[in-house]
Amino acid sequence: MTQNLETFKNLLAEISDLSGIASVLSWDKETQMPRGGIETRAVQGATLARIIHQKGTASALKELLTQLEPEFAAQESFEGALVRQVRRDFDRKSKLPTEFVAEFSQARARSSNAWQEARGKNDFKTFLPHLEKMFEMAAKAANHYDSSVHPFDALLFDYDPGLKTEDIRGIFADLRSETVPLVKAIAAKGETVDYSILKRHFDIDKQKAFALEVSQAFGYDLNRGRLDPTAHPFAINFSRDDVRMTTRYDPNYLPMAMFGTFHEAGHAMYEQNTGEHLRRTPLARGCWSTVHESQSRLWENLVGRSRAFWQHWFPKLQTYFPESLHDVDAQMMYKLVNRVQPSLIRVEADEITYNLHIMLRFELELAVFEGNLKVSDLPEAWNAKMQDYLGITPPDDARGVMQDVHWSEALFAYFPTYSLGNILSVQLLETARENLGDLNGMFAAGEYAPLLGWLREHVHQHGKTYLPPDLIARATGKPLTAKPYLAYLENKFSDLYGL
């Protein structure tokens, strides 16, 4: 048995090495590669992906798994978690017929190209057949995975195993009834600060230096990381010892790179702090989408958009930009970075309206999967919901139904995890506060080590050892609940806007 376990671990280590190499190639493609390299790199990536897939679905691995399961599958140990995770992956992959995977992957690539072109031309009609195909194939995939459950549940398993559509409906109903009146009350108040301050000139090199200074203070380890510019920000892990992040800059808009970097630093610190014993295994990753997003949102919003944070950091920021910020102080900065305003684009939305963008997508996806909405009617349904939730109507489909990449790549059931990450971030922070005491005092002193230490102990070090519901219950003593998050929104924004 020891021999089998060794062989099993060696196989997984090889797969993990190859995946790390594939990630290096993909990081390089997004940040460094000359345009001419695109086609060859795509072929190289496909070759690697094929080898990884072969190793991950090989009969040798399956046999080892079957032999190890009787002893380890029910064990509360590292080996037990490893065996369960490999079984989950293995079963998931083997449920889709090979021809279906190939067809889906080709259709997805075509759809993604069509979306890019159609969005540029604001032409939903040319994208429509591809989007119909994406919904149709995702429904087929859901049916292959598990025809006995709601298709949305079958798809959700990839992003948040254990989470159910019905749970999301319940949580979102609470969130909606709290959020919609709050947005209206804030709009009725009118604006008290001059937000154009954030659109003054901010030198890009200085933006980068400040974002990195803060990220390091949070605990992002630059010995095992770096920051580069890209069109679409992301964090990527080659191993726990090399976790890189990217951001995008606008010299005439300060918040984008700053909060974008805090966000990615949250993801990256999670990956840097997975347990050393998980190295070169499929468990050396953050625990799926909701928990991952809770970490990025925690540092971006709960820390980075807090009053205590700006008490400490505003004087420093002012030394980076003495001219552009000469007439601002910490309290004003706190107001500036917490503007609530209904807007068209999800990724630019504030803390409150962001969730309404997510609910809209969740409800539309469900309506299509449940046969209550035709894909061709999505633009109209989108605009109606925008009007209903946010009081605005997109002037075109490029800034409406076609704004996100997700649907063009059949990433359905993914959106809810963004809002659930927001919800979980507060649940975790409040539990940490019960354990650690005066977190605001620490933030005001620029001290983050106690918080990061708590997160490392209760969340990060476990990687994928537990499924999300278990991890959440272990870390906070409760299942995922929207209550702390709703109280946080209410308190923070009532105070900010004098409601």
* Chain residues in the site for Zn ion (CB under 5 A): 296
| Torsion angles phi and psi, residue 245, rounded to 5 | -135, 160
31, amino acid identity: T
d(CA 27, CA 238): 9
| Torsion angles phi and psi, residue 236, rounded to 5 | -140, 140
Q: Which is nearer to Zn ion, 296 or 427 (CB)?
A: 296
Strand partners of residue 359: none
Structure tokens at 286: 């953050």
Distance of CA 497 to the CA centre of its chain: 28
Q: Residue 146 contacts by C-beta under 8 Å, 6 or more apart in sequence?
A: 153, 154, 157
Q: Which is nearer to Zn ion, 265 or 486 (CB)?
A: 265
CB of 219 to Zn ion, least distance (A): 17
CB of 498 to Zn ion, least distance (A): 31
Residue whose structure tokens are 């930009």: 321
d(CA 416, CA 155): 12
240, amino acid identity: R
Q: Which is nearer to Zn ion, 354 or 454 (CB)?
A: 354
Q: Which is nearer to Zn ion, 15 or 214 (CB)?
A: 214
- Edge to edge, the sheet with strand 227-229 lists 227-229, 242-247, 235-239
Q: Which is nearer to Zn ion, 305 or 307 (CB)?
A: 305
Residue 344 DSSP code? S
Q: What is the CA radius of gyration of the chain?
A: 23
CA distances from 360 to 151, 159, 170, 384 (A): 18, 19, 15, 10
- Active site members: 264
CA-wise closest residue to 153 among 137, 136, 139: 139
474, amino acid identity: R
Burial degree of 130 (CB within 10 A; 0-12, 13-18, 19+): buried
Q: Which is nearer to Zn ion, 111 or 301 (CB)?
A: 301
Long-range pairs for 385-388: beta carbons < 8 A, 24 or more residues apart: 385/360, 386/344, 386/360
Residue showing the smallest CB distance to Zn ion in the complex: 296
CB of 263 to Zn ion, least distance (A): 6
Number of other residues whose CB lies within 10 A of the CB of residue 136: 14
Structure tokens at 154: 């079958």
Q: Which is nearer to Zn ion, 300 or 365 (CB)?
A: 300
Strand partners of residue 228: 246
CB of 264 to Zn ion, least distance (A): 7
The number of CA neighbours under 13 Å toward the Cβ of 499 is 17
Q: Which is nearer to Zn ion, 273 or 324 (CB)?
A: 273
CB of 300 to Zn ion, least distance (A): 8
CB of 178 to Zn ion, least distance (A): 23
CB of 267 to Zn ion, least distance (A): 6
Q: Which is nearer to Zn ion, 311 or 355 (CB)?
A: 355
**CA dihedral (209, 213, 219, 221) positive or negative:** positive
